[in-house]
Chains A and B, each alone.
Chain A
Amino acid sequence: MGVVIDNFDLYLSGFLTSVMICLWGLIGSLILGVIIATFRVSPIPILKWVGSAYVTVVRNTPLTLVLFFFAFGLPELGINTSYYAFGLAALIIYTSAFVCEAVRSGINSVSAGQAEAARSIGLGFGQSLTLVVLPQAMRTVVPPLGSVIIAMFKNSAVLGAFGVGGDLWSTGMDLSSAQGYAPLPVFIGVAVGYLCITIPSGLALQVIERKVAIAR
């Protein structure tokens, strides 16, 4: 495991790049996911349809396929950008479908009386959603959303393996193939990097879950 200690700065910068990818991915997929969730619960049939079609298509397609479609398909349409941008876009599209479902299930978990009360005091769809339902839904949304975020961090490894570059995975690839270190210890180091995020956040999530459960 000397390789990890000798190249700790490389690992650290790869780790930080992975975290950055996930921060952008998080922002993007939260925005997109909430928009799609709003579509799905809205009274407008066509938006409902668009929302559920989006979720059905994206949730049932492998991330790798979304990624390949972006990186190898979109250039055919004259849409060109870096692998980083393609990778991030694929991660956001993929994750947003799961964010949407987490948010939607949260909305559905708010008891009907709450929305009825909101309507009875004269709030419309938008108002009862943003002022009454969503703030309450957020609490139920936190545990599933947390799982989605952790899954996204893990999925970011796919981007690294695909060649987005600079992240934790690419650091391992560079050390083992270009610099000739034995691959197994190098990638055990990479694994530890991912676990540094996923295990603590998984434990934190369990605590939050328990707290939320008590609050109900």
Chain B
Amino acid sequence: MKALTTLKPPEHGATVLFDAPGPRARRRTLMFSVIAAVAVLAVIGVAILQLVRSGQFSYAKWGPLIDPTNEYFAHVWARLGDGFLRTLIAAVLAIALSLIIGVAIGVARISAGRITRTPIVAFIELFRGLPVILAIYLVSRLADEFRVGVPLPGDNVLRFDLSVLPGGDLLWVLVIGLTAYNSVIIAEIVRSGVVSLPKGQNEAALALGLTRWQSLRMILLPQAFRVMLPALISQLVVVLKDTSLIAVLGGYIELLKMSRLVIENLANPIQVYVVVAAIFIAVNYALTKFAEYVERTLAARTSG
């Protein structure tokens, strides 16, 4: 956001990089625009031609998705709706859990001494460096081990079956995997949120006689949350996208896997994927805009 403020708002179509165009430049821009438009139209045209030639605009392929009178329409949307709901559930659970654990880790890192900080930093770096899909996969393997029992010292066996949780084991493998990754991301967001606050805030709190912990809890974190909120909403976009990783691994049926199964019945991959992409784009775009709105509102409030 800081970057944007250095860019002056364009006056008469000018930006930093180019002057407000004179008559010659305007002609040139117009010429380039026409060339670019022709090129863009040509690319779109070729694409459409290719789509038509391979029968991608046929009713058989689009009807089940867009025509409410089509015999499959209701079923297809019931399935996709179910898949979308499952995606939302996994994403919301993962972000909520990540928030709780992330704040805990972040606070631990801020308030820990130099020695206790090392294992926390190591933990954060470890999970930050792991591909999310691998985190999910490792969680599913661990869930397997715990289901059959992990031997403990003294002939004890630790058994835990994730399927006792509401929603079932497949959901929780995904949620825990996503949480493992995102909680450390959120921990870093929390830390940078607190670090970004003016030093005086903490000093004033301590001068008032609050303990370090009280200052953190009552003065610093509440303010940091305000700074963090846009970043947290943006992280929800990441989580929402990452739920679909499970479609590659197999297990929980979310939107992408569900669409794959719908395609198995209707043989229209391009059409279904376009629709599913549109759903993802719409939701994520709305979330991004919301994050920007929150950021603006909060910025206005703090500066005012």
Known pairs A44-B32, A60-B285, A184-B142; A77 contacts B256 (CB<8 A) = no
Known pairs A125-B17, A158-B248; A63 contacts B241 (CB<8 A) = yes
Instruction: With a 10 A CB-CB cut-off, give which of B8, B21, B280 has the most chain A CB atoms.
Output: B280
Distance between Cα atoms of A203 and B142 in the complex (Å): 29
* Chain A contact residues, CB within 8 Å of chain B: 41, 43-47, 50, 56-57, 59-65, 67-69, 72-73, 76-78, 105-112, 115-116, 119, 124-125, 128-129, 133, 140, 150, 154-158, 161-162, 169, 183-184, 187-188, 190-191, 194-195, 198-199, 202
Asked if residues A111 and B134 are in contact (CB atoms below 8 Å), the reply is no
- Residue pairs across A and B with Cβ atoms less than 8 A apart, 12 shown, are A43-B29, A60-B241, A61-B241, A61-B277, A62-B245, A77-B51, A108-B3, A110-B16, A154-B129, A154-B130, A188-B138, A202-B129
Asked if residues A62 and B16 are in contact (CB atoms below 8 Å), the reply is no
B126 at the binding interface (Cβ < 8 Å): yes
Asked if residues B130 and A61 are in contact (CB atoms below 8 Å), the reply is no
CB distance from B53 to the nearest CB of A (A): 8
Q: What total count of A-B pairs have CB within 8 Å?
A: 166
Partner of A158, one of B54, B131, B237: B131
Distance between Cα atoms of A4 and B82 in the complex (Å): 41
B145 at the binding interface (Cβ < 8 Å): yes
| Cβ proximity bits B162-182 to A, threshold 8 Å, 1 near / 0 not | 000000000000000000000
Instruction: With a 10 A CB-CB cut-off, give which of A60, A77, A128 has the most chain B CB atoms.
Output: A60
CB distance from B236 to the nearest CB of A (A): 12
Distance between Cα atoms of A200 and B248 in the complex (Å): 28
CB distance from A206 to the nearest CB of B (A): 10
Distance between Cα atoms of A63 and B241 in the complex (Å): 8
9 smallest CB-CB distances across A and B, nearest first, come from A198-B129, A157-B131, A60-B284, A154-B131, A62-B241, A62-B244, A115-B16, A60-B281, A109-B3
Known pairs A46-B37, A157-B133, A188-B138; A65 contacts B273 (CB<8 A) = yes
Asked if residues B13 and A194 are in contact (CB atoms below 8 Å), the reply is no
CB distance from A17 to the nearest CB of B (A): 15
CB distance from B1 to the nearest CB of A (A): 10
* Contact partners of B247 in chain A: CB under 8 A: 64, 68
Distance between Cα atoms of A183 and B139 in the complex (Å): 12
Interface secondary structure of B, over-half rule: helix
Instruction: With a 10 A CB-CB cut-off, give which of B13, B36, B263, B276 has the most chain A CB atoms.
Output: B36
Instruction: With a 10 A CB-CB cut-off, give which of A46, A110, A115, A183 has the most chain B CB atoms.
Output: A46
Asked if residues A73 and B270 are in contact (CB atoms below 8 Å), the reply is yes
Distance between Cα atoms of A43 and B8 in the complex (Å): 15
* Contact partners of A116 in chain B: CB under 8 A: 16
B116 at the binding interface (Cβ < 8 Å): no
* Contact partners of A110 in chain B: CB under 8 A: 6, 16
Asked if residues A191 and B130 are in contact (CB atoms below 8 Å), the reply is yes
B67 at the binding interface (Cβ < 8 Å): no
* Contact partners of B145 in chain A: CB under 8 A: 184
Asked if residues B33 and A202 are in contact (CB atoms below 8 Å), the reply is no
Known pairs A68-B256, A199-B125; A190 contacts B277 (CB<8 A) = no
Distance between Cα atoms of A168 and B215 in the complex (Å): 46
Partner of A60, one of B130, B134, B288: B288
B15 at the binding interface (Cβ < 8 Å): yes
B242 at the binding interface (Cβ < 8 Å): yes
Asked if residues B138 and A184 are in contact (CB atoms below 8 Å), the reply is yes
Q: Which of B1-57 contact A (CB under 8 A)?
A: 2-4, 6-8, 13, 15-19, 21, 29, 32-33, 36-37, 40, 50-51, 54, 56
Number of interface residues of B (CB under 8 A): 60
Partner of A64, one of B4, B8, B256: B256
* Contact partners of B245 in chain A: CB under 8 A: 62, 64, 158
Distance between Cα atoms of A58 and B18 in the complex (Å): 28
* Contact partners of B63 in chain A: CB under 8 A: none
Known pairs A157-B133, A202-B125; A77 contacts B7 (CB<8 A) = no
Partner of B17, one of A50, A129, A198: A129
* Contact partners of A154 in chain B: CB under 8 A: 129-132
Partner of A115, one of B4, B17, B33, B137: B17
B249 at the binding interface (Cβ < 8 Å): yes
* Contact partners of A61 in chain B: CB under 8 A: 241, 277, 280-281
Distance between Cα atoms of A198 and B138 in the complex (Å): 18
B117 at the binding interface (Cβ < 8 Å): no
Partner of B128, one of A59, A105, A202: A202
Known pairs A44-B33, A195-B126, A199-B125; A76 contacts B3 (CB<8 A) = no
Distance between Cα atoms of A133 and B6 in the complex (Å): 14
Closest residue to A155 on the B side, CB-wise?
B131
Asked if residues A191 and B134 are in contact (CB atoms below 8 Å), the reply is yes
B79 at the binding interface (Cβ < 8 Å): no
